[in-house]
Amino acid sequence: MSEVNVLQMARDQLAVAAKYLDLDDGLHQVLSQPKRQVVVNFPVVMDNGQVRCFQGYRVQHNSSRGPTKGGLRYHPEVDLDESTALAMWMTWKCAVVDIPYGGAKGGVQVNTKELSKRELEKLTRRFISELNIVVGERSDIPAPDIGTNPQVMAWIMDTLSMQAGYTVPGVVTGKPIELGGSEGRVEATGRGVVVTAMEACKVLNLDFTKCEVVVQGFGNVGSVAAELAVENGAKVIAVSDATGAIYNQNGLPIKELYQRYSGIEGGIRNYKDCDQISNKELLELKCDILMPSAIQAQITKENAGDIKAKVIVEGANGPTTPEADQILSDKGVLIVPDILANAGGVVTSYFEWVQDLQNFFWEEEQVNERLSRIMRNSFAAVHATQQKHKTDMRTAAMIIAVGRVAHATTVRGIFP
C-alpha cells in the first residue's frame, strides 16, 4: 500500500460513511483527525558499540468509546501517515465489533532482520520508555503487528512494570500465556475469519462443508484460517506464502502443512502432492471462498475482473484496493471487509486485557465461544445494515462503526 496514500484512503472511506449518516461537519472534522500523534527519536547502542538513532511513532485516533488499542509495527516503511491511517481503522474495527476501545497504532522505522536479539530488546525497551507518557493499561494498550511478536510484548510489559514498580500485565496484549496472555489469542484472527466466512455462506445459501477455499498467506492468520476451514468441513484447495503457492483440486492436508510449515517462509513448497503455482494464479483460481490473508493491495483493478470466488473474506488489512472493490461489487461478489473479518485478534486482545485487569483467567473454550458469538453478532449487524442501505458490506461496516463513535463523541460532549 506504500504507493497508495493510505491516510487519504482512510479519510475517503470515512467521508462515504459520513454521507450516509448525514454527519455534522464539525464531527466529521474531529473524526478525520487523530486525537494525538507522538513522534520519538531515540538512540540505541548497537552490538558493535556504535550509537544508532531510530524514529518511532504512536498515534491515538479517538478515545470516545474507551482506551485506545492497536499494534506496534517494526518495518522500514512505517511513518506517521501510515500509523495515523491504521489508528483510524483500529477505531472503526473496535467499534464495528462493539468492544470498548478507540483506535491507536504505532511503530519504529527499522528492518528487524538487521538487528540481533539483544539489539531488538534494547530498541523495544527504549522505544516504549519514550512512549510511557502516553501508553498505559487505562489509556492506550499496544499489541503485536508486523515485525513484533509475543517476546517483544513481554519486554514491553517488563519495561513498563519496572518503571511502575510493580507488575502491570494489562499494559499490553499479545503476551506469552505465562505472563498474562490469553488462551486462544494466537488463533483468534484466523478463527474470526472462518466464523465470518461461514456466516457469509449462510447469507448466500452456500453449504460451507461443500465449499472450495483458497487462502493467500500461510502466516498467523492464513494458516489458522485454512486449518479451521478444514476442521469445519470445507476443502482448502490452495495456499500460498511470499515465495509462491501450492494447489491440489482434491484438497490439501492443512493440518500437516500447519504443523510442519507454519511460520517457515517457503516451507509449504516442499510439499509434493500438489501443483506449484504463482500467487497471481492462486488469486484467480475457481473457488467459492477466497481468504486474502497476507498483505495489503493484492486485489487490484488489474486482477479483480479475473477473480472467480463468490465470497472474499479479508484476513489481511487492506487487501482490496477501492477500484477493485467497485469491480467486485459490480460482479456481485460478497466481500467481508477487513475491519469485520479480521477483528477476531483485537476481540481476543480485549479478552486478554479484561483477564489481566481481573487477574482471573478463562479457559480456551470460553474464549473461543465468546469470540465466535461476537463475530456472528457483528456479521449479522453489518449484513442487516447492508440490506437496509442497499450498499456493500464495507460501507455497511463503516456506517455502523462511524455511527457508534460519532454517537459516543456527541453524548460525551466536547470538553470543556
Q: Which stretch binds ligand NAD (CB under 6 A): 7-15, 151-159, 315-323, 398-406?
A: 315-323
CA distance 31 to 61: 8
Which amino acid, one-letter code, is at 46?
M
Residues 6+ apart with CB under 8 A from 396: 382, 383, 385, 386, 389
Site mask for ligand NAD (CB under 6 A), range 321-360, x = bound: ---------------------x--x---------------
Query: DSSP class of residue 306?
Result: G
Q: Which of residues 166-205 bind ligand NAD (CB under 6 A)?
A: 189
- For residues 146 and 179, which CB has a smaller minimum distance to ligand NAD in the complex? 146
Q: Judged by CB, which is closer to ligand NAD: 159, or 262? A: 262
Rank residues 195 and 206 by Cβ distance to ligand NAD and give the closer one: 195
In degrees, to the nearest 5, what angle opens at C-alpha 236 toward C-alphas 244 and 278?
20
Which region, judged by CB under 6 A, interacts with ligand NAD, from 27-35, 58-66, 121-129, 238-246? 238-246
Grouping H, G, I as helix, E, B as strand and the rest as coil, residue 205 is coil
Decide whether 89 or 155 has the Cβ nearer to ligand NAD: 89
Strand 289-292 vs strand 311-313: parallel, antiparallel, or unpaired? parallel
User: Nearest distance from residue 53's CB to ligand NAD, in Å?
Assistant: 27
Query: Could you give the C-alpha distances from 301 to 29, 140, 324, in angstroms and in order?
Result: 30, 37, 5
* Ordered strands of the 102-109 beta sheet: 36-45, 51-62, 102-109, 68-75, 140-144
What is the maximal distance between C-alpha atoms in the chain? 66
- From the CB of 350, what's the least distance to ligand NAD, in Å? 13
Q: Give least dist CB 218 to ligand NAD, A.
A: 4
Strands 68-75 and 51-62: unpaired
List all residues 6 or more positions away from 39 whose beta carbon is below 8 Å from its beta carbon.
55, 56, 57, 80
Report phi then psi at 312, rounded to 5: -120, 125
Among residues 69, 93, 105, 235, the one annotated as catalytic is: 105
Handedness of CA 354, 188, 10, 131 (dihedral sign): positive
105 is catalytic: yes
Out of 315, 367, 371, 397, name the contact with ligand NAD by CB under 6 A: 315
CB of 293 to ligand NAD, least distance (A): 6
R_g of the chain, CA atoms, integer Å = 21
Site track 268-307 with ligand NAD (rule: CB under 6 A), x = hit: -----------x-------------xxx------------
Nearer to ligand NAD among residue 206 and residue 372 (C-beta): 372
Least gap, CB of 71 to ligand NAD (angstroms): 8
242 binds ligand NAD (CB under 6 A): yes
Give me the active site residues, please: 105
Residues that bind ligand NAD (CB under 6 A): 189, 216-222, 240-242, 265, 279, 293-295, 315-317, 342, 345
